[in-house]
Each structure stands twice: as C-alpha cells, then as structure tokens.
Amino acid sequence: MKYKEIYDNWKTDPEAFWMKTAEAIDWIQPPSRALFPENPPFYQWFADARVNGCWNAVDRHVESGFGDQAAVIYASPITGTEQSLTFRELRDQVAQLAGALASQGLGKGDRAIIYMPMIPEALVAMLACARIGAIHSVVFGGFASHELAARINDASPKCIIAASCGIEPGKIVDYKPLIDDAIELAENKPEFCVVFQRRQSIADLADGRDLDWHEFQRHVEPAPCVPVEGSHPSYILYTSGTTGQPKGIVRSTAGHLVALQWTMKNIYDVEPGDVFWAASDVGWVVGHSYICYAPLLHRNTTVMFEGKPVGTPDAAAFWRVIQDHGVRVLFTAPTAFRAIKRADPTGKLVKDFDLSSLKTLFLAGERADPDTIDWAERQLKVPVVDHWWQTETGWSIAANPMGIEKLPVKPGSPSVPMPGYDIRIMNDNGEELPSGELGAITVKLPLPPGTFPTLWNADDRFRKTYLDKFPGYYETGDAGYVDEFGYVFVMARTDDVINVAGHRLSTGAMEEVVAGHPDVAECAVVGIEDSLKGQVPLAFICLNAGCARNHSAIASECVQLVRDVIGPVAAFKLATVVDRLPKTRSGKILRGVMAKIADGKSYRMPATIDDPAIIAEIETSLKSLGYPISQ
C-alpha cells in the first residue's frame, strides 16, 4: 500500500486502523476498542487493556528466542568504552533492579526521577520502572539543581535514580551535589536515592537515604512484569513552557507502545535485528522514544552514544560508530551535522570509513536547513529525511514514511502528515486557512495514540495552553503552512520557545531568572540566529534607577545566574544593558523586532511603538556585542 492509501484508511476508519496496528503488541488483556473519548478533551487509547511496556520491549524477545541478540550497544568515545548487552542480559538487569526498587517500596503509580548520563544503566532504570508500573521522569543532565528541584516538586517522586557523574568534554559533572541541592530546595523530598557509582567520580552517599546501585540489588528477588491499564502513565517528561514552571508531558502506556512500534517499519524502514541509532540523550523525548522504547519494542539494537559529534575525539565520531556497529538508521538533530560540517567541511574524514550499512539519516528537533541537508546527502550518499514532532506528541506529526513509500522530498518541508494527524492551519480568529497560507499549525482532536492525554497534575493548564485557542484542535505552538500537495512547512514558533542546539528552551523562563538579579528592573530575552546551534538566547537588561554598577559586571552576573538556575544547557552567554526596552503603547515588549535587528534582518516598525528612538539605542548596544554578525 502507498502512503496516500494508508493515510486515507486511517481517516476513513481510525478505530479499525488503530485496532489493527495494536496487534503488534503483546497484551495481557487485549483492548476492547481503540479510542476512549468519554472524557474529552482527555482522550485515552486502549484504556481497558492490560499490558506491560517492559515485557514488550525486552522479555518477549527473549521468550521468542532472541535472547542472544544485542539489545543495547554502549559506544562511549568520551570514556573510551564499548560494551554490548543482549536482550537476555538486559532483561536480567532490569528485573533485578526492578526487584530492588520494589523491595524499597516503589510500586505501581509511584514516580521515580532518573538523573543519569548516556550509560546503559539509564535504560535499565527506565525499563525497571516500566516493569513494576512505576512512572519515570528522566531529567537531562545539563539542567541545574533548581530545574531538578522544580521537577521533584511537581512529580513528588518516591525515589531518585542517579549516576555519580556525567562526563562532558574536558570536565566531569558531579551529579550528586546537584541532587543534594535539589532535594534541599524541593518541598517534596524523595524517600530514597539510588546512585550508580562511575569510576570517574565516586559520590558520597548520605546515610539512611542514599543506596548504592549494586549493593541494594543484592539478595533481592528479580521482579516480574506488572500488568498496567492501557491508560496508565508510563512516564512524565518535562518540557519548556512559557514560564519557569516546566510542563509535565504525560505518556500513557498502551498508546505509546502501539504508535512507536508502528513507526519503526513504516517511518524508519528498519527490520527487527537492525541497528538503530538515535544520537540524542535519554533526557529528551527523542531519547525516550528512539533510544529506549521504539527500537527495543521492534527488536532493534539501540545505540547509546556518550560523546559529541565533534571533539570526542574528532569529527569522525559518528562515522566510527556507524562503521563499527553496522548502523542502518541514524537519527539526530541538524545542529550535530552543522558541528561536523564546520570541523570537516570537505568531508575528508567521511572517506576513511565504510558507511555502507547506513540506509537513511533522519533529522528532527529543529528546522533542517537546506545547506546541512545538502552536505549530509553529498557526504553520506543516503536519503536525508527531515521529520517534525514534539515532546507532546512523542512521535512524528509529519514525516516521509520511508518504509511505506519514499515520497519526493521538498526542501524545507518535513513532508506529509502521519496517520492519526489531521493538520489544519488557522488564523488568529480560529478560521481555517487554505493551502499555501501561513498560520498556526493545529491538529484536529483527538490526537493519535502515543501522544499526551494531559499534563501531570495540570489539566487546566493543558486546556489553556493547547486547546482553548482553537476549540476542537490541538495548538502545536508552531507556525507554518501546508502546500497544495499536502506537504507541511514548519516555519517558526508562535510562543517564546527557542531551539538551542536541538534543545527546547523557554526565553520566558530565562527572563524570570534574569529579572531576579537585584539590579535588574526588567529584561527581555530573545532567540537570535546562530550558525552552529540554530538559535542562542540574548538578554536585554534594564537596570534599576540609580544603579551605578559596572554594566558588564552585571551582564556577567546575569549569565552566571541563568547557568546556576537553569543550567549550562541554556547556552546563555549574551547579555547587554540598555536604557529602555522597545514597547508598544500598550506595553508589549517588541521581542521580535529586537531579534530581527540582531539577525540583521529587515523588520517592520510597528505603528503602535511607544518611542521609535529606542530602536536606535538597541542597534547601538547590539553593535557593541558584535551583532548583526555580517556587519
């Protein structure tokens, strides 16, 4: 069947489409139907089924004779380690850890925060939670203790599962002090912490609260897979919203198993047994869906890469992994390829490797710029497929479904909607726009299986953020258009979210932090273009009247503050003091205009601007920072 036929099949009878798709999952009790629309807008899928995610990702492959197949390849150029775990070994490790967690009282519905770098134990921890029905929430290692504390408060975890440290080029990031600070800051304290000691840095364990990963697993019985309802949350993953309070995206168990399993053949075109590599991090949605669950569900070997595209040790790190492990599909963010291209523009290093196993490169996380796509295609000589999705959806809204049919590629477009997604473009009045016209990208409800049914403990915020503006439709937060052939073009965010090196960050959250500096009266943070990271944040700061302190000292303090509160991942390094911020007469800060000036782009001076002279001041202060770069 071709894409069009499959998409139309879904549209004609979504219930039949998803029930058929659900046959690929091992159910303890099969669902009686697919959609449970009883409590709109909180749609559930396969809610009355009984299932276990870990069984489907791990145990069933051992039971059906594939116990000796590699499940996880750990490729860590940063530590010089290569290791492989079979499905049987993975099952045994997961069951043992699950048994130990259960013996400490972690059970179905309890939350566990996982704060770990890219080591196989992170996957073992996620799957151990799934095994006993505990809800995991993985926090990316580049977030500082304040962000970790916000997540602890929101999720109220019974435990934290951590490693003693992460390793970044040239430095060891000790996780334990960050965790201790976060627990100190948090109101809801976890009952216990499990710490995996890495030899690069051994953490001090607190008496009565901290448990050693290996020690606490001794003398406990491995845990069996616990049946959970289809609607049972499998995990919470926090993502940036418009404030400093992160949004807890909830993922229901059954829907995500069904949808993810479907994507592996239909979108990524891999067969069970193939090696699949998502070069991302378990702290992001790509890591949840495509390092952990989807490849394992589909009995693919997943690669856990602990390193960087460049500098660990060189710009051939990706090629080495592809060659050494026979990677069939690589999935990463365009920024990683920009970094490689910058270090090795002519692709000299590529030629030293046998990359014949590689069939497709998938890109997501940010807009894929044509230069990067071109370069990657020329060097790798495989199709480069852009696809568009979000933490909220957990899998592609639009993609080129390589396992169904390779559709013609249109530069700048992640191609066409996947089954389950009925995309409509809306204007500000909630009227649907015809093809070719730019507007807010929305998806008709219900969203498909595998997407989020709500935000953790925040049903009202879920409605307000995503559903209120366009009743009956999910507001993606992206703006774009659909062309006459149904290709989707994603152009920009409609909110204050920016994409820094493929990481989603909120400028609003950074503004909250900068505004907390004692000398700052008000500030605006905007995302400006960056040739490597796509975007980076830049802050305009207005000081309190009478503040006579040195401006660059204050700017540096603000930079340090964001690093301490949000974390280094914010890549917040640019701040400048200005007398005033440009605003409309109604007081709205003209962030878009400031970003355009910094990018050296033309902009339209809003008729409602309060005082046009401020624009000249903004231009002067940007010049002192070296922006726009081309001038």
Q: Site size for ligand COA, by CB under 6 A?
A: 27
Among the listed residues 565, 577, 496, the one whose alpha carbon sits nearest the alpha carbon of residue 537: 496
* One character per residue 525-544, x = contact with ligand COA (rule: CB under 6 A): -------x------------
Instruction: Report d(CA 58, CA 66) in Å as an integer.
Output: 10
Q: Is-cis flag, bond preceding 120, omega within 30?
A: no
Closest distance to ligand AMP from the beta carbon of 399 (Å): 9
Identify the residue whose tokens are 């989707």.
488
479's enclosing H/E stretch is: strand 473-482
Residue 145 binding ligand COA, by CB under 6 A: no
Task: Give the one residue of 339, 350, 423, 509 binding ligand COA; rule: CB under 6 A.
Answer: 339
The tokens for 327 are 């990677």
Closest distance to ligand COA from the beta carbon of 162 (Å): 12
Q: Which is nearer to ligand COA, 301 or 391 (CB)?
A: 391
| AA identity, residue 517 | H
Q: Are strands 70-76 and 111-115 parallel, antiparallel or unpaired?
A: unpaired
Q: Which of residues 364-403 bind ligand COA (CB under 6 A)?
A: 364-365
The tokens for 230 are 């289809």
Residue pair 123/424 in contact (Cβ under 8 Å)? The answer is no
Q: Are strands 327-332 and 301-305 parallel, antiparallel or unpaired?
A: unpaired
Q: Which is nearer to ligand AMP, 210 or 496 (CB)?
A: 496
Closest distance to ligand AMP from the beta carbon of 285 (Å): 5
Determine phi and psi for 272, rounding to 5 degrees: -50, 140
Closest distance to ligand AMP from the beta carbon of 388 (Å): 4
Interface ranges with ligand AMP (CB under 6 A): 239, 285, 364-368, 386-391, 414, 476-478, 490, 493, 499, 504
Closest distance to ligand AMP from the beta carbon of 281 (Å): 11
Determine phi and psi for 628, rounding to 5 degrees: -70, 150
Determine phi and psi for 533, rounding to 5 degrees: -90, 0
Residue 417 binding ligand COA, by CB under 6 A: no
Alpha-carbon torsion (368, 374, 380, 384), positive or negative:
positive
Q: Which is nearer to ligand AMP, 210 or 475 (CB)?
A: 475
Cβ-based neighbours of 445, under 8 Å, separated by 6 or more: 40, 41, 43, 467, 472, 473, 474
Residue 449 binding ligand COA, by CB under 6 A: no
Residue 142 binding ligand COA, by CB under 6 A: yes
Q: Which is nearer to ligand COA, 166 or 477 (CB)?
A: 166
Residue 100 binding ligand COA, by CB under 6 A: no
Q: Which is nearer to ligand COA, 255 or 365 (CB)?
A: 365
Task: Give the one residue of 502, 527, 537, 582 binding ligand COA; rule: CB under 6 A.
Answer: 502
Instruction: Report d(CA 457, CA 248) in Å as an integer.
Output: 8
Q: Which is nearer to ligand COA, 141 or 420 (CB)?
A: 141
Q: Which of residues 229-288 bind ligand COA (CB under 6 A)?
A: 279-280, 284, 286
Q: Which of residues 307-336 bind ligand COA (CB under 6 A)?
A: 308-310, 332-333, 335-336
- Provide the 10 A C-beta neighbour count for residue 285: 24
Q: Which is nearer to ligand COA, 247 or 341 (CB)?
A: 341
Q: Is-cis flag, bond preceding 414, omega within 30?
A: no
Q: Which is nearer to ligand AMP, 46 or 284 (CB)?
A: 284
Q: Which is nearer to ligand COA, 165 or 488 (CB)?
A: 165
Residue 568 binding ligand COA, by CB under 6 A: yes
109 three-class SS: coil
Instruction: Report d(CA 62, CA 68) in Å as an integer.
Output: 8
74's enclosing H/E stretch is: strand 70-76
84-92, 295-303, 399-407, 563-571 -> range binding ligand COA (CB under 6 A):
563-571
Residue 559 binding ligand COA, by CB under 6 A: no
Among the listed residues 420, 168, 390, 151, the one whose alpha carbon sits nearest the alpha carbon of residue 286: 390
Q: Which residues bind ligand COA (CB under 6 A)?
A: 117, 141-142, 166, 168, 173, 279-280, 284, 286, 308-310, 332-333, 335-336, 339, 364-365, 501-503, 532, 568-569, 571
